[in-house]
Amino acid sequence: MRRTSSFQGTKINPLKFHRSQVKFLLFILPIATFMVLPIIYIFNHAFKPMDELFAFPPRFFVIRPTFANFSDLFQVASSTGIPMSRYLFNSIVITLVVVAFSIVVSSMSGYALSKLKFRMKRTLMTMNNIALMFVGASVIIPRYLIIESLGLIDSFWVHVLPGLAIPVGLFLIKQFIDQIPDELLDAAKIDGANHFQIYVKIIMPLIKPAIATIAIVSFQAIWNNAETSVIYINRESLKTFAFYMSTLTTASNVVAGQGMAAAAALIMFLPNLFIFIMLQSKVMNTMAHSGLK
């Protein structure tokens, strides 16, 4: 069935560009241009020389672009002698590990809560829904006490383990799996498939939109997280790039660190932009359909 239809001479949702879309483009393009200005500013700001960073009135576009901010960022070490590359390496490894395992944990838990039968199933889901109501700042003290009792203070795992449980991810995946027909899973069981095979070969391919959404949420939460390095980490070699950014414009380095901070902000922003561009179609599918078509 074609996705085009006519109503008073106007084609709704045409497969290709149609002149009827012009009036919508005239409305959307100015808004899109306004929304993309912060992205353009971040790119311009990172390449500004020192005199343009402190120019008054401020300039939106860079006049004399330079890579000096990036070279300074990679050459300058922290006060403890740890190079910037170490912080960046920590952030990359921690983010990749947390995103991968959070997807596995959320999808397996969602499958169990949606399709398996066991005691306290409803209670566990209710607890997860209650967890959605709490912001991170409200659980700092109990989280610290739990992490300290587990002996995770000043270790690599303090970056990883607290980030594996994503209440919104579990909720979203369970809602997706709820819409998968039980008859499909029963047919797989008749063919001899066990729960793990059903999870890998049936569940995972059908919930790709939800997985993409969780990947973005988890990535942004971990990549931009400086709180863990501040509260739980004492060794400088275990801290992340997000924490290092906060040290570039300290009171003793407020002027000289502005260029490096601008370059670091661009480095922090690019992965977020890249992963959203790569997965945005899946995210839109999640919001539009919220399950199987």
* 7 CB-contact burial (10 Å; exposed 0-12 / middle 13-18 / buried 19+): exposed
Adjacent-strand bridge partners of 230: none
Is the pLDDT at 162 greater than 50, yes or no?
Answer: yes
Structure tokens at 118: 């066991």
pLDDT for the residue numbered 272: 84
Cβ atoms 170, 113 nearer than 8 A: yes
- Residue 169 has a CB neighbour count (10 Å cut-off) of 25
Shared domain check, 59 and 181: no
Does this model's pTM top 0.75? My answer is yes
As for how many domains the chain has, the answer is 2
Question: For residue range 23-37, what is the model confidence (pLDDT) as tens digits?
Answer: 778 888 888 888 888
Shared domain check, 261 and 117: yes
Contacts of 58 (CB under 8 A, 6+ apart): none
Q: Among 12, 34, 66, which residue terminates a domain? A: 66
116 inside domain: yes
- Residue 147 has a CB neighbour count (10 Å cut-off) of 19
Is the pLDDT at 101 greater than 90, yes or no?
Answer: yes
269 inside domain: yes
* 123 CB-contact burial (10 Å; exposed 0-12 / middle 13-18 / buried 19+): exposed
User: Can you give the residue range of the structural domain that contains 53?
Assistant: 21-66
275 inside domain: yes
Provide, rounded to the nearest whole percent, the portion of the chain with pLDDT above 90.
10
CA distance 82 to 61: 33
Shared domain check, 172 and 39: no
- φ, ψ at 82 (rounded to 5°): -80, 125
Question: Residue 103 belongs to a domain with what CATH number?
Answer: 1.10.3720.10
Is the pLDDT at 5 greater than 70, yes or no?
Answer: no
